[in-house]
Amino acid sequence: MRGLDLNRRQLLRRLGLGGLALGGTWLGVGRSRASLSPLGQNQSQRQDPDPLPWPEPRRGDLRLVTISDLNGPYGSTTYRETVHRAIALLPRWRPDLVLCGGDCVAGQKLDLTRSQLDAMWAGFDRHIAAPLRAANLPLAVTMGNHDASGSLMPDGQFRFAADRAAAAAYWQQIQGSLGLDWIDRRDFPFYYSLRLRDPSGRLVYILVWDASTARIPAAIAERADRDLASPAAQGAALRLVLGHMPCYPVAPGRDTPGNYLEEGDRWVRLLHRHRVSAYLSGHHHAYFPARVGNLDLLHLGNLGDGARSLLGSDRPPVQTLTLLDLFLDRGAIERTTYDLVNWLPLDERQLPPQIRSAVRTLDRHP
């Protein structure tokens, strides 16, 4: 955003983040878990005694904050400073829902023990989930490859079965405290759906599917086809789908098979057929808002380690988070993305107009 002369130190001081301690110390709003309001109670009425030092984006009927790829090295139970600062900042935007594109922890290593896997999820809860509960912010997450990879062995068994068991145990234990208005949670946290309600009662339908590997299993594809065609989905003002792997590559080092969904064109057709407004994904650690037909493909940047540049771009990599303001009367989604290096809004005109890969050329969303 133009016209801001704050340097980074001054900006962090005004945000109240200059003295943020690592190791899970929470300096935000103190609320008990029991006070978590159900999803759909509009958060715009919350008191914010310390406003942001830049103009807040125009608020939609509903506001989402999207984050992704928070993890560090294998087995990590702590998070980098950028993650702590971002989590501390989220309540200032008063979102109605926080969506996470996966890779909350740093699994997908076969020699990690169950106790180590449980310790990682305990670290996630201490540093990420508990602060969001305390701030009364509902949270929905898709499983990433480092959370609960769906990779299969030749005999059809999960290669990282221990990771999936640990993830399921953690998320099923806390599911009642997430503040979500569930539609179907039979296979939570791997596949589920929920609704978000604005103050006038209009609905947004959100489907979260298991895109922790490049291959969407046939059973998941058939189920998603049915669920997106359902009255709950088609009666909503907007439909969103969240998964870890993107349909197409956008970052170097992630443009090889296995790092994006196989048959990406098939999934785009599926989402188009059901009038999905946006597919949100992570994994590539590089922010890029693409548009294919009437579908937004929002590639979320990362908060944790390993930010990447975009294919064909010499712009330095940077961690980001993105606000989505939903305007339901006109079916519009307005994005505001923050560069977490200097903590300022990102001018999307600085991103390349197109991303070219061997799979597809993606146009930047205008």
Average pLDDT value over all residues in the chain: 88
pLDDT 10s digits, 268-309:
999 999 999 999 999 999 999 999 999 999 999 999 999 999
Confidence of residue 52 (pLDDT cuts 50, 70, 90): low
**38 lies in a domain?**
no
pLDDT 10s digits, 232-257:
999 999 999 999 999 999 999 999 99
**345 lies in a domain?**
yes
Phi, psi angles (nearest 5°) of residue 87: -65, -40
| DSSP SS3 for 131 | helix
Confidence of residue 47 (pLDDT cuts 50, 70, 90): very low
pLDDT of residue 36: 39
Range of the domain at 214: 64-364
Is there a contact between 123 and 105 (Cβ–Cβ < 8 Å)? yes
**Res 177 pLDDT > 70:** yes
pLDDT of residue 35: 33
**182 lies in a domain?**
yes
**2 lies in a domain?**
no
**Res 44 pLDDT > 70:** no
pLDDT of residue 12: 41
pLDDT of residue 32: 31
33-37, 121-125, 184-188: segment of lowest average pLDDT: 33-37
- Number of C-alpha atoms within 13 angstroms, CB side, residue 228? 27
**235 lies in a domain?**
yes
**Res 29 pLDDT > 90:** no
**276 lies in a domain?**
yes
Query: How is the beta sheet containing 191-197 ordered, strand by strand?
Result: 181-187, 191-197, 203-208, 238-242, 278-281, 295-299, 288-292, 361-364, 354-356
Confidence of residue 54 (pLDDT cuts 50, 70, 90): confident
pTM attached to this predicted model: 0.87
**326 lies in a domain?**
yes
pLDDT 10s digits, 75-120:
999 999 999 999 999 999 999 999 999 999 999 999 999 999 999 9
Sign of CA dihedral 109, 115, 116, 118: positive
Cβ neighbours for 356, distance < 8 A, ≥ 6 positions apart: 311, 312
Phi, psi angles (nearest 5°) of residue 166: -65, -40
**Res 46 pLDDT > 60:** no
- Number of C-alpha atoms within 13 angstroms, CB side, residue 288? 32
Q: What percent of the chain has pLDDT over 70?
A: 86
Phi, psi angles (nearest 5°) of residue 148: -165, 65
**Res 45 pLDDT > 80:** no
pLDDT of residue 133: 97
Domains identified in the chain, total number? 1
Cβ neighbours for 72, distance < 8 A, ≥ 6 positions apart: 78, 79, 80, 106, 304, 305
**Res 19 pLDDT > 70:** no
Q: For the domain that residue 296 is a member of, what is the CATH number?
A: 3.60.21.10
Confidence of residue 53 (pLDDT cuts 50, 70, 90): low
Phi, psi angles (nearest 5°) of residue 134: -65, -30
| β-pairing verdict for 320-327 and 62-67 | antiparallel
**191 lies in a domain?**
yes
